[in-house]
Structure 1
Amino acid sequence: MHKIFCMLLMQVVCFSAFSQKFSLNGKVYNKNTKEGIDFAYVYLDSLNTTTTQNSGQYSLTNIAKGKYRLCVSVLGYEKFSQEIELNASKNFNIGLQPKSFTISPIVVTGTGTHYKIDNVPVQTEIITKQDIADISGRNVEEIISGISSSIDYTTSTMGSNIKINGLGKDYVLILLNGKRLTGGVGGYADLNRINSADIEQIEVVKGASSTLYGSDAIAGVINIITKKVKGKLSANSSSRLGAYGDFKQLNSFTFSKGKLSGKTTFNYKQKAGYQLNSMKFNNKWESNHDLPFLVHTYYKPVNKSKAYTISQFLEYEVNQKLSLNMDLSWYEKTLYFPFRAQMHNYYYNNRAISFGGQYKLKNKNFLSFNFDVNNYLYYTEYPYKYNETYITSTDVIKKTYYPGDRFKNSDVVNVISQVKGVFNINNKNKLSFGTEIRGEYLEARYRLTTPKVNAYTYSLYVQDEMKLSKKLDLVAGLRALYHDKTGFSATPKLSMMYKESKFTHRFTYSNGFKSPTLKELYYYYESNRMGMYRLYLGNEDLKAQKSHYFSISSEFKANKFKTGLNIYLNRIYDKIDYKIIPTTYDHARRGIEETKKRYNIDDARTIGADWHFSFPVFSQLLFNGSYSYVSAKNLTQDIRLNGISEHSATWKLSWTERWNKKKLNINLSGIYKSDRFYLEEDLERSYADAYQLWKLSSSLSINKWENFKIRITAGIDNLFDYVDDRPYGSHYGTLNPGRTIFVGLNVNFSK
């Protein structure tokens, strides 16, 4: 009996021991940043599973004693697998190594359809929102040229002259969310309407792109893509404050509820302006050397300005196939001049409305349409009493303006209607076609041969994207258009991409097209420039400017190292320029000393190479840069094209450290531009000096709250305090005022 009792007791003890259950708890975290990883899949031999929550915490319970294989997997990280022996409850933290790849961004500008950047047949350069944050630039132009060496810009009171590979504003098409950005003075782009804090990415397609985008796309296309609606609700406030009253503010609000979503933005910018030199050249010195060569001036190369933009975007999903959208914007800018320099200011106003939609078909096919109206107004504003004189082809008009009065210099209206279809014929063939009607209207009293003029363009285009083999892609397209002043034109394009292992090779041949502007056709303006009273005339018999573009490029990518070289030739025909013609007897009696008229008189070409690279020095330090060489030449006059640097370079060293839901980023970046050539109206030759600028910028991102993100930025612009301080009126290499400090704050709420 005693033995039986002992055996029963031993069975109870053993059963109790073997039936005991344990738990396994811990944290799954990023090995590099030590931050917890949510939504990771944790399991033991596929029997006991859970997912991480609350900053990477996990818990597996009710586990019997024994040996198991513990596994963890989550997107973007290497899989974890390890044998463990469990004989008691324990805490076990798991560090995951991020995978050594980055998600390839999606681009659309090169073909008008969506591709990953590494797979797009048409060479496309992308500037990401991280690049934009790293540069922390004053404006969009500074950011683009600070990242891509093939892009340059100069500024004036009229706006920005953006250049790509040696060709300026007349040949560069700027898009905003895929739509032509119209409005500006004299062809200059007015990018004050865009705040860099609202940009998702910028796509740059170099070379003639008129097949897809029509007129002006001879040097290339810059597509600025703003941030979209994400989540149910979000609010963002972004500020940047620098020296000389340089301040910009962006407030945005987005929502999505049911079938309706929307985005409201308020963008404000201001600057106080500054002088680089208080002296200017004395125009009277040429005729009397007893006078001083330099005299005092109150003019500034950068003037005080204030601008704001209010925009509203709405999208409504009618059903699973049809969606409609509407975009409204209102922009105002005032450019202030010193009282002792001139007694009036400039005022700009842009109103835009866009309506569009998309209808989804089977097999990811779709039809889309857009109707855009843009009205850009340019005024002279009079804060003081002022007597003004206007000269027309038939009369001399004198007017007196009083404080608060405005005179409308120009009123430009652009109306664009587009319809587009994209069809996947099969898995190796995608066909796009579209039609566009564009109307341009210009009213400019005292600046044209007739107060109101207009022009219309009608076009059709088709593009076929073909995957000929696993390694070879081909894109072929053609646009046929009719301009009611210059007639019929056709612009073909052919692009090829061949991928072999870690190399990608691309080739492009395309035609570019630019119709004459309304001012080039109908201009009439008298002005005293460079010490001579001149008459400037348009020409109603102008032809369209055209180009032939060739490029070949190769790109190598291995792990995180990437480099590429692009060689190109852009040949331009029938370039429009002024030609001196005899002054009529009546004009001479009115004091006209020289008459210039627009003609298709010049041929030009740009030939050059772009090289870029990017590689990690180590896991936290990234070094990238680019170099561009361009020979831009007016073949008719056998001289360099105005305002072009032959050599350009950019570089950026970026260091990042992450810990406890915080990220510190420090960047050392710089640009170099060689000298620029200018041929003056009096045929004198001058140069803008070469220069280089360095910038140190930093940002601290804090993501410790569930719905809030904060980013604090600070930096030093122009570290070595370079200033081009030649007398006012010179061609400046840069208008940078010298070493300055800037700070910024971005607060984002989303749920």
Structure 2
Amino acid sequence: MLTNFTIKSKWIGIVLLMFVSISVHAQNSLSGTITSNNKPVDFASIYLKGTRLGTSADDQGKFELNNVPSGTFTVVVSSIGYKTLKKTITFNNNEKLTVNFQLVEDSSQLDEVVVSGTMKEVSKLASPVPVEVYTAKFFKANPTPSIFESLQNVNGVRPQLNCNVCNTGDIHINGLEGPYTMVLIDGMPIVSGLSTVYGLTGIPQSLIERVEIVKGPASTLYGSEAVGGLINIITKKPSAAPLVSTDVFATTWGEVNADVGVRYSLGKKVDGLLGVNYFNYSNPIDNNNDGFTDVTLQDRISIFNKFSFQRKDNRVFTIAGRYVYEDRWGGEMNWEPKYRGGDEVYGESIYTSRWETFGIYQLPTEELINFQFSANGHNQNSVYGDTKYLADQYIGFGQLTWNKVLGKHDILTGVAYRYTYYDDNTPATAKGDDLENNPAITHLPGAFIQDEIELNPQNTLLLGMRYDYNSLHGGILTPRINYKWSSKNNRNVLRLSVGNGYRVANVFTEDHAALTGARDVVFEDELLPETSWNGNINFVKKIYLEGGIFIGLDASAFYTYFSNQILPDYETDPNKIIYSNLDGSSVSQGVSLNVDVDFKNGLKINAGGTLMDVTVEEDGRKYRQLLTERFQGVWSAGYTIKSLGLTIDYTGNLYGPMRLPVLGELDDRPDYSPWWSIQNIQVTKNFGEHFQLYGGVKNLLNYTPPSNSIARAFDPFDENVVFDTDGQVVPTPDNPNALTFDPSYVFAPNQGIRGFLGFRYTLD
């Protein structure tokens, strides 16, 4: 026993001696401060690669890492919003090292470059105008055939379907209807008037770098139509795009979408980027049993090409072009092209052909002077039952801007000119008692100036003024003012803005209901331009927590007051749409909040909500605007399992009740929509750096609107409707609710649950 005890004691002593020896030799330490631009980076992570040793900096950027073994290690320093820094350090016995680390901000994460707020490239943080930026990765969490549908997951932005039959739609921003939103590609206003309806479809998503959204009037810089806000689609630079990018997916409903992008060179000084998008849906489905297609059938192709020219002193010259052709139809299930335009079988068939070109050329001068230009042509051949709508539109736009920095003043000034030609077969382009054809031609010259004043590093003031002369309506002045304050560490940013907007309306190009033939169109007076005043308060806060957790808060309050607003009146007479300038006022007001949370373990959550009130006051009566929700919520949650190369995305939206256009007092359909939600889930698997396979389920809850959304779908030509001498519907045993055929009672898509599967291939 004694011998055994002696042996055990001996081994215990050896183990203790080894432990003490290791402890003595492990008393190395590393300390220092982590900064960026001479400012501390709080709660950054520091660890030794290949070990379990790590720590976090405090709120002053200081850190201390103890018990470091001797040897050579790679020290990794990381923080959300900054590029990860790696440095090799050798530790000797009992050495206390002091090393300071300087991190570089990573604009690709939190501080993207934006152009929409001030018409020039600035960091999102520095912009005095609040600009929301959504990268291509954001939209990949819920792949769709077009940007129009992708915007359903952006807070305060809602794709609105305007027809149950042909699925024509527009984009609502903060409750304001589609015509109040300007759409741009690479900063050029190529979408307006007739093309507003279709301008967001057919843009190859494989070529999209990011989407910038400004909420509220931007008329000082962009002129007419930027009343509710603007959506700027930024395409990739040819020199920075992948050599080949492919994205193809299909759904269980039979939809097929293909995006292909190719980068190429023409000689040594010309880089090109070619993109092709093809979408096809040819499978008529009628799950709600109303006799009509639930979803419009489509055959669409879009070709996009962009050139970038290398010039002396890196001056800019890019030019791009796009062509879109679409054949879409919806209607009774037995409709065929031979019935197009007739009154035997009801169908809505639309042929759209559109081309556009746009670019920017920096003049070879010492001063920064740019010439921006765009042109587009749009031909539409549509039939709505036996009602035809034939239209042509051509728009030419040119703009010369000069940017000059004078001390604390960053001045941007310019002149612009827009030419618009519009012709159709409606009363909009007819004159005289004999309705002689009279195409509308509008000249719109304008000039603007803005001065961005850096009062000090924390305070910026932006003053802007624009004057346009509309050849039909005269001069229009649109001023605005923006103010930005940021804290010294840029973790808190406050922006205030007040602006004025105006818009010249053409109801036949903007309101699908005016075309269907289901109601007569009535103009009470000549329509005058709409004007609005908007105020916006925006506060952004960035929070960095221990453990590499980042929280971003973006809160806004908005108020827009309209005068002369043009709203369609569906309610005075259920058989008519009456258009006139509002003899009163309209107000859109509300608050919104976006929350971004990034965890170090790969979980990312983005959620937002907008509470709004859009009301109209006229003749002492106050009421809610049609098809406008009081609440909208969106969310996107993604989790990446790096060891498996697997990402899971859960996206969705939630909408509150909207007031709906019912057909008179006897219409038994609800006046308001219910709460409704569209939710989706997707799983993405990476195979190496170039190939992705993804799939999932859209509309998990299988939500669809009521099956009676189309009034009298069984009698689309009103053959069995009885009218009195005043043109009013007479209730009969066959029509007790005094209804006529009407597809405008629509608030949500009819497409139910469906699976999808796709792949992406990228070659750099």
Counterparts of 1:81 and 1:321 in 2: how far apart (Å)? 37
Distance 1:581 1:618, change over 3 A: closer
Does residue 642 (structure 1) correspond to residue 634 (structure 2)? The answer is no
Q: Which moved more, 1:189-198 or 1:644-653?
A: 189-198
Distance 1:32 1:240, change over 3 A: farther
Tell me the CA shift for residue 681 of structure 1. 6.4
Counterparts of 1:140 and 1:580 in 2: how far apart (Å)? 30
Counterparts of 1:33 and 1:187 in 2: how far apart (Å)? 55
Report if the CA contact (8 A) 1:71-1:81 is conserved. yes
Quote the residue 1:487 is aligned against: 474
Quote the residue 1:55 is aligned against: none
Q: Which has the higher strand share?
A: 1
> Equivalent pairs: percent with the same residue?
17
AA paired with 2:203? I
Report if the CA contact (8 A) 2:206-2:261 is conserved. no
Distance 1:346 1:192, change over 3 A: same
Does residue 342 (structure 1) correspond to residue 352 (structure 2)? The answer is no
Report if the CA contact (8 A) 1:33-1:658 is conserved. no
Counterparts of 1:643 and 1:104 in 2: how far apart (Å)? 35
Report if the CA contact (8 A) 2:48-2:73 is conserved. no
Tell me the CA shift for residue 314 of structure 1. 1.8
Q: Deviations over 1:360-406 (max 9, x none)?
A: 655xx521113322111111479xxx9x6x8xxxxxxxxxxxxxxxx
Does residue 153 (structure 1) correspond to residue 160 (structure 2)? The answer is yes
Aligned to 2:580, the other structure's residue is in SS state strand
Superposed CA RMSD in Å reads 3.6
Match of 1:261 among 251, 254, 271: 271
Counterparts of 1:582 and 1:155 in 2: how far apart (Å)? 20
Distance 1:580 1:672, change over 3 A: closer
Q: How does 1:364-375 map to 2 (within 5 A)?
A: 366-375=368-377
Does residue 302 (structure 1) correspond to residue 295 (structure 2)? The answer is yes
Report if the CA contact (8 A) 2:207-2:235 is conserved. yes
Does residue 564 (structure 1) correspond to residue 554 (structure 2)? The answer is yes
Match of 1:742 among 756, 759, 763: 756
Tell me the CA shift for residue 687 of structure 1. 2.3
Q: How does 1:460-471 map to 2 (within 5 A)?
A: 460-471=447-458
Quote the residue 1:401 is aligned against: none
Report if the CA contact (8 A) 2:160-2:747 is conserved. no
Report if the CA contact (8 A) 2:194-2:509 is conserved. no
Counterparts of 1:604 and 1:201 in 2: how far apart (Å)? 33
Tell me the CA shift for residue 274 of structure 1. 5.0
Q: Which moved more, 1:70-79 or 1:456-465?
A: 70-79
Tell me the CA shift for residue 525 of structure 1. 8.3
Distance 1:526 1:565, change over 3 A: closer
Aligned length: 622
Does residue 110 (structure 1) correspond to residue 120 (structure 2)? The answer is no
Quote the residue 1:132 is aligned against: 139
Q: Deviations over 1:225-248 (max 9, x none)?
A: 122213597122211211322211
Distance 1:120 1:325, change over 3 A: closer
Quote the residue 1:239 is aligned against: 248
| TM-score of the superposed pair, with normalisation by structure 1 | 0.75
Quote the residue 2:24 is aligned against: none
Report if the CA contact (8 A) 1:301-1:728 is conserved. no
Counterparts of 1:186 and 1:329 in 2: how far apart (Å)? 13
AA paired with 2:492? F
AA paired with 1:250? D
AA paired with 1:324? F
Tell me the CA shift for residue 429 of structure 1. 2.1
Counterparts of 1:34 and 1:147 in 2: how far apart (Å)? 38
Counterparts of 1:715 and 1:33 in 2: how far apart (Å)? 38
Distance 1:434 1:374, change over 3 A: same
Match of 1:575 among 548, 562, 565: 565
Tell me the CA shift for residue 664 of structure 1. 2.0
Distance 1:324 1:118, change over 3 A: closer
Counterparts of 2:195 and 2:85 in 1: how far apart (Å)? 55
Tell me the CA shift for residue 136 of structure 1. 2.2
Counterparts of 2:638 and 2:258 in 1: how far apart (Å)? 25
Counterparts of 1:641 and 1:313 in 2: how far apart (Å)? 41
Tell me the CA shift for residue 200 of structure 1. 1.1
Quote the residue 2:685 is aligned against: 700
Aligned to 2:478, the other structure's residue is in SS state strand
Distance 1:581 1:745, change over 3 A: closer
Tell me the CA shift for residue 727 of structure 1. 1.6
Counterparts of 1:735 and 1:524 in 2: how far apart (Å)? 17
Does residue 437 (structure 1) correspond to residue 437 (structure 2)? The answer is no
Counterparts of 2:513 and 2:655 in 1: how far apart (Å)? 36
Q: How does 1:218-367 map to 2 (within 5 A)?
A: 218-230=227-239, 234-256=243-265, 257-272=267-282, 275=285, 278=288, 297-320=290-313, 322-337=315-330, 338-340=333-335, 341-342=345-346, 345-359=349-363, 362=366, 366-367=368-369
Quote the residue 1:717 is aligned against: 698
Quote the residue 1:542 is aligned against: 527
Does residue 607 (structure 1) correspond to residue 589 (structure 2)? The answer is yes
AA paired with 1:715? G
Quote the residue 2:721 is aligned against: none
Quote the residue 2:380 is aligned against: 378
Q: Which moved more, 1:459-468 or 1:417-426?
A: 417-426
Distance 1:236 1:210, change over 3 A: same
Counterparts of 2:707 and 2:452 in 1: how far apart (Å)? 52
Tell me the CA shift for residue 422 of structure 1. 1.4
AA paired with 1:370? Q
Report if the CA contact (8 A) 1:152-1:164 is conserved. no
Report if the CA contact (8 A) 1:129-1:201 is conserved. yes
Report if the CA contact (8 A) 1:509-1:551 is conserved. yes
AA paired with 1:209? A
Report if the CA contact (8 A) 1:574-1:603 is conserved. yes
Q: Which runs of 5+ in 2 are unaligned?
A: 1-44, 51-69, 94-100, 336-344, 431-435, 545-549, 712-744
Quote the residue 2:539 is aligned against: 554
Counterparts of 1:556 and 1:473 in 2: how far apart (Å)? 18
| TM-score of the superposed pair, with normalisation by structure 2 | 0.74
Counterparts of 1:729 and 1:163 in 2: how far apart (Å)? 22
Counterparts of 1:120 and 1:445 in 2: how far apart (Å)? 45
